[in-house]
Structure 1
């Protein structure tokens, strides 16, 4: 069997209605599958105001808004219309990109029909409760995730560090890698624009500390703000450049009134914004990969990041940036201050970062997931079924 024989039913909790790194990777992958001759059908909640056009055929699923985060939706059931569409499409593999209620139903649907399933892991859902005062729920969330992923034939993680964590958490016997690529036409050092910086009030000789991403508390906005306070107390000359938008923007602006908020950027504008920074500060521990980190590295920036999944697979400590214990405000401030005050160190780490990103080409990245699909289908044809872990 080759790629032209694939008929993939992809279930996503957010395929295109809110833009994020995970769904952009999924859309890029679906585009790759279609160009290679595969058949793909996508099932996801939809809205009247999608963030971008979907790649492939998108079937809307019943959903409701997430309480307190209405921009996101929970797909909660597999309607009769969706079931009829699935029957007509007749997939030979089901891809699950979110362990939400519809993902569980789709997994049961596939297992009842003897179809192989592959799940891609895009975020560390078990870490989310701690940002909303519910840390005691983390073991419960872990248990729910474990039950979901163990029922799949294989799971794929976007980084080596995340794959290792999934093994340690006993999520699956079969953990592979589906990493992320980089668009070098958009993300490269040539996009740096000093005129654009000046228009925002950033002088040429003032180091700009960047934040890129959706403005939500689980991205570590509190740690970012506390660290910037430390730099100010130390008298370190800098500017903070925030690129992105989200429900926590008002909180973030109130917390960092001197920061420059450039808002949501995409395409060439995003490449210009990233390349016009001098370093990236990414304190989040929720990412499984960290697309923004890879993009910043491709633009020649050093990264100061939390020592967590994703970042550990991209940032080489002391070479392309610094990896700091999560939440260690003073250590984060030390690392940022060193880069702010030493342009030679910034340049050296930036050059090493560009070299590191050379291995992340989209064709190779997406073909690796195609290979996983075909392997899993072949294993099922030989009588293999998902094995439950012997450890609860």
Structure 2
């Protein structure tokens, strides 16, 4: 069996209606699979005006807007017409990409059809309640995730650090790696554009601290803004450049009155924005990989990040940037102060990050997941299915 024999049914709560790192990775995966001769069918909620055109064919599943976050959709179930479509497609492996109701129902369906099922883990959902005053719910969310992932033949993490966390959380015994790649045509140091910076009112010699991502509280916006406030009190010369959109933009603009907000940037414009920064500050603990961290490194930027899954596998402390205990405002401020004040330290860390990023290509990382699909199918066919949990 090889890639041309694969027939993959992919289930996602958000395949293309809101742009984020997870669904862009899924779309790159589908493009690669189709290019290699595999068959893929996507089952996801849809909207009339999605954020970007999808790779592959989507079969729409019913969904409702998420309370307080209506830009996202909550899949409800797999209706009869969709089940008929799945059976007609005749998949030989099911892939779930998000742990909501649709994912649970897809795993149940896989068991009924006696088909292997894998899951990819894209974010630390169990950490989300803390950003909405519901920290007491984190153990419940983690238990729900464990129930789902233990029922899968294998799960795939985007980084070694996340894979280790999943093992420690007893999510599954069979944990593989499906990391993320970098588009070097978009993200490279040559994209740096001083004229564009000047158009935003940024002088050439002023160090720019960048934020890139959706503007939602779970990205650590409070930690970011408090850290910048400390820098301003210490009279550290800098500018803040924020790239992204989201429901917390108004709050973030209020917390960063001197910040420069350029909204959503895509493609070459995003590459220009990132390369035109002087460092990236990523205080989030919710990512399982950190696409923006790798993109910044590919643009030769030092990265100051929280010690968290994803960042730990990308940033080498004192070499490509600084890793700081989550929420440690003073330590974050000191790390940023170093790179703001010392151009040679910025250059050295950026050069090391650029060299590190050269190991990540999309075709290579997507082939690793293809190999994982084939391995799981072989194991199921030989009756050697690995126990799906490291504990009884």
Taking the TM superposition and a 5 Å limit, the aligned residue runs for 1:119-158 are 119-158=119-158
User: Within 1, Cα distance between the matches of 2:362 and 2:213?
Assistant: 21
Q: Could you tell me how far apart the structure 1 residues matched to 2:175 and 2:191 are?
A: 37
Taking the aligned partners of 2:327 and 2:216, their CA distance within structure 1 comes to 16
1:179 equivalenced with 2:167 (yes/no): no
Say which SS state the counterpart of residue 109 (structure 1) adopts.
helix
Aligned length: 392
Residue 239 of structure 2 aligns with which residue?
239
CA distance, structure 1, for counterparts of residue 272 and residue 174 of structure 2: 39
The Cα shift of 1:362 comes to 1.0
Instruction: Answer whether contact 2:308 2:326 (CA < 8 A) is retained.
Output: yes
TM-score (normalizing by structure 2): 0.99
Note the alpha carbon deviations across 1:253-294, whole angstroms, 9 max, x for none: 011111000100000000000000000000000000000000
Q: Secondary structure at the match of 1:71?
A: strand
1:386–1:71 CA distance, 2 compared to 1 (3 A): farther
What is the aligned partner in structure 2 of residue 327 from structure 1?
A: 327
Are positions 1:224 and 2:220 aligned together? no
Cα distance in 2 between the residues matched to 1:62 and 1:386: 33
Deviations 1:22-76 (A, max 9, x none): 0000000000000110000000000011000000011100000000000000111
Q: CA deviation at 1:390?
A: 5.9
Question: In 1, Cα distance between the equivalents of 2:359 and 2:324?
Answer: 24
Q: Distance in 1 between matches of 2:384 and 2:108?
A: 17
Superposition map of 1:1-392 within 5 A = 1-385=1-385, 387-389=387-389, 391=391
Mapped to 1, the partners of 2:115 and 2:52 lie a distance apart of 31
Q: Tell me how far 1:386 sits from its aligned partner.
A: 5.3
How many Å separate the matches in 2 of 1:388 and 1:290?
27
Q: Root-mean-square deviation (CA), in Å?
A: 0.8
CA distances 1:67-125 after superposition (whole Å, capped 9, x unpaired): 00000001111011111111110100000001110110010000111100110000000
Give the direction of change, closer, same or farther, for the CA distance of 1:390–1:349 in structure 2 (3 Å limit).
Answer: closer
SS where residue 14 of structure 1 aligns?
A: coil
CA contact (8 A) 1:75 1:101 kept: yes
Q: 1:273, 1:6 → 2: CA distance?
A: 38
Gap regions ≥5 residues in structure 1:
none
Runs of 4+ displaced beyond 4 Å: none
Give how far 1:384 is off: 3.0
Q: Distance in 2 between matches of 1:349 and 1:40?
A: 41
| Structure 2 CA distance for aligned equivalents of residues 5 and 223 of structure 1 | 48
SS at match of 2:122: coil
Q: Structure 1: how far apart are the matches of 2:223 and 2:271?
A: 25
Per-residue deviation at 1:363? 1.2
Please report how far the alpha carbon of residue 236 of structure 1 lies from its aligned counterpart in structure 2 after TM superposition: 0.2
Q: Do 1:17 and 1:46's aligned partners in 2 also have CA atoms closer than 8 Å?
A: yes
- SS state at 1:263 partner: coil
For the 8 Å contact 2:174–2:388, the answer to whether it is kept is no
Give distance in 2, aligned partners of 1:69 and 1:385: 39
Q: What secondary structure, in the 3-state scheme, does the structure 1 residue paired with 2:73 have?
A: strand
Instruction: Find the residue that maps to 2:285 and give its secondary structure.
Output: coil
**Is the 8 Å Cα contact of residues 152 and 386 (structure 1) preserved in structure 2?**
no
TM-score, structure 1 length as denominator?
0.99
Q: Deviations over 1:290-337 (max 9, x none)?
A: 000000000000000000000000000000000000000000000000
CA contact 1:157–1:177 (8 Å) conserved in 2:
yes
Contact 1:150 1:386 (8 Å CA) reproduced: no
Structure 2 CA distance for aligned equivalents of residues 16 and 260 of structure 1: 28
